[in-house]
Amino acid sequence: MGEAPAFFADNLMGDSPKKVDSKSKGIETAIVVGSKIYVIDGVDHELGSTVGVRIFDKSTGEWRIPIVLGTKPKPSKDFSAVLLNDDRVLVVRGNSGSSECFWFLEVGTPFVREHEKTLGNEVVAWSKGVLGNVEKPIVISGPSGVGKGTLISKLMKEFPSMFGFSVSHTTRAPRAKEQNGIHYHFTDRNVMESEIKDGKFLEFASVHGNLYGTSVEAVEVVADAGKRCILDIDVQGARSVRASALEAIFIFIAPPSFDELEKRLRARATETEEQIQKRLQNARAELEQGKSSGLFDHILVNDDLETCYEKLKNILCLREAVKSAPKTKSFNLSIKHPVSMIDQKLLINCTAAEDENTSTNMYVLDFLLKGGAPGRTRGLNMYAINPLTDDVNGNNQLHLTSSFD
């Protein structure tokens, strides 16, 4: 692809305590990681709709175009880039609101390394950075007839604004009155298979020739709405979620005995004998795996429904009144936004959204990163400081002028 570009150093903050490891020319930013230079373009020259990434290998003198996974940011002519922990790059998009300004390009995370082995090619992966944290999703599993649905319904009824369900994907055709995006995300098989290959699904299964699954994005959408996602899936699906990057609480609901489970299944009177026998066969396997695999954080025996429900609320710390999550204050980054790193904290200049005409303010972006590609990277905390009086290293937090967390 030609010779390596001649980049020049761009020290945005002058005499900053720690020099930002990036070099810029025009709308390109280069980040050096070992023997590789990752060149991030404000405009993807092939697609024109997302930020582009190229890799220059200093050891061979060759350019490479990596496979790009995750949710890609839109083009921006005004952005900065900072290397974090040698495995991901924080990209700060200028002239953007708080929901679109922070993006992470993963270059050596476990997710990237795993897909490099699978795909046999260099891989990078994008994820959107989100201010604040969310409650861990809840994975609830158990054999058919154990009462999972009843317990979940009680949670949803008592705490209607706190919990939400992810919408599953399927390759089957919609049935009468089923709406896309509400009952299921209906998709083509080749599309879903491609997204499964790209690691965009937490779990999936083939049922009667059709694919069903839970995408990472479907869970993230629930979290973006300020709710805690509940995943009602089988043991095999729970194992897949456990192997993913999603941090969740895993709860297995067990019957008091196998005989009692059979009684409950028969009492429903909704299935044929053949269907009951199949469910019982599956239940034996699920009970054995659920109780012995170490997969689940908690095992609840549903002997008495109300007692089991109280134990479930205790696990989820729902005994006290549930407070609504604090709203994150919005802001806009100015087109020119000098940045520098101090002790794993990013100093950045931006303007509060509600007061754009005032002079530019100084903010600190703190990192306690959770999640990552192909979902969101959460755990960012941003707060305003007075550079004349505040200690960025945390020894003097009394002078913080405002908090966005």
In this predicted structure, what is the pLDDT of residue 18? 36
Whole-number Cα distances in Å, 249 to 111, 136, 167, 315: 21, 7, 19, 9
CA distance 186 to 178: 10
The mean of the pLDDT values for the chain is 82
Q: Looking at the predicted structure, is the pLDDT value of residue 198 above 50? A: yes
Looking up residue 295, the CATH number of its domain turns out to be 3.40.50.300
Which one has a higher pLDDT value, 46 or 40? 40
In this predicted structure, what is the pLDDT of residue 388? 63
- Please tell me the least confidently modeled range out of 20-29, 34-43, 375-384: 20-29
Give me the number of domains the chain comprises: 2
Q: Which residues are catalytic?
A: 175, 268, 279
Residue 385, helix vs strand vs coil: strand
Instruction: Give the model confidence (pLDDT) of 225-250 as tens digits.
Output: 999 999 999 999 999 999 888 899 99
Judge whether 202 and 229 are in contact, CB under 8 Å.
Answer: no
Domain check: are 197 and 273 in the same one?
yes
Which one has a higher pLDDT value, 2 or 67? 67
CA distance 361 to 358: 9
In this predicted structure, what is the pLDDT of residue 383? 83
Q: What is the mean pLDDT of residues 180-189?
A: 96
Domain check: are 123 and 183 in the same one?
no
Neighbours of 59 (CB within 10 A): 8
- Please tell me the least confidently modeled range out of 94-108, 140-154, 205-219, 390-404: 390-404
- Beta bridge partners, 228, equal 163
Instruction: Give the model confidence (pLDDT) of 18-33 as tens digits.
Output: 334 444 444 688 999 9
Read out DSSP for 148-164?
Answer: HHHHHHHHHHHSTTTEE
Which one has a higher pLDDT value, 347 or 179? 179
Instruction: Select from 291, 315, 339 the last residue of a domain.
Output: 315
In this predicted structure, what is the pLDDT of residue 261? 87
Domain check: are 74 and 95 in the same one?
yes
> Strand order in 298-301's β-sheet?
163-165, 228-232, 138-141, 249-254, 298-301
Domain check: are 270 and 161 in the same one?
yes
47 HSE (CA, 13 A, CB side) = 13
CA distance 165 to 221: 10
Do the domain assignments include residue 2? Answer: no
* pTM exceeding the 0.85 threshold for the entire prediction: no
Non-local (6+) Cβ contacts of 201 within 8 A are 169, 192, 195, 213, 214, 215, 216
In this predicted structure, what is the pLDDT of residue 87? 94
Domain range for 388 = 8-133+328-403
Q: Looking at the predicted structure, is the pLDDT value of residue 389 above 70? A: no
In this predicted structure, what is the pLDDT of residue 328? 54
Report the percent of the chain where pLDDT is more than 70. 79
What amino acid occupies position 48?
G
User: Across 16-30, 188-202, 331-345, 355-369, which has the greatest mean pLDDT?
Assistant: 188-202
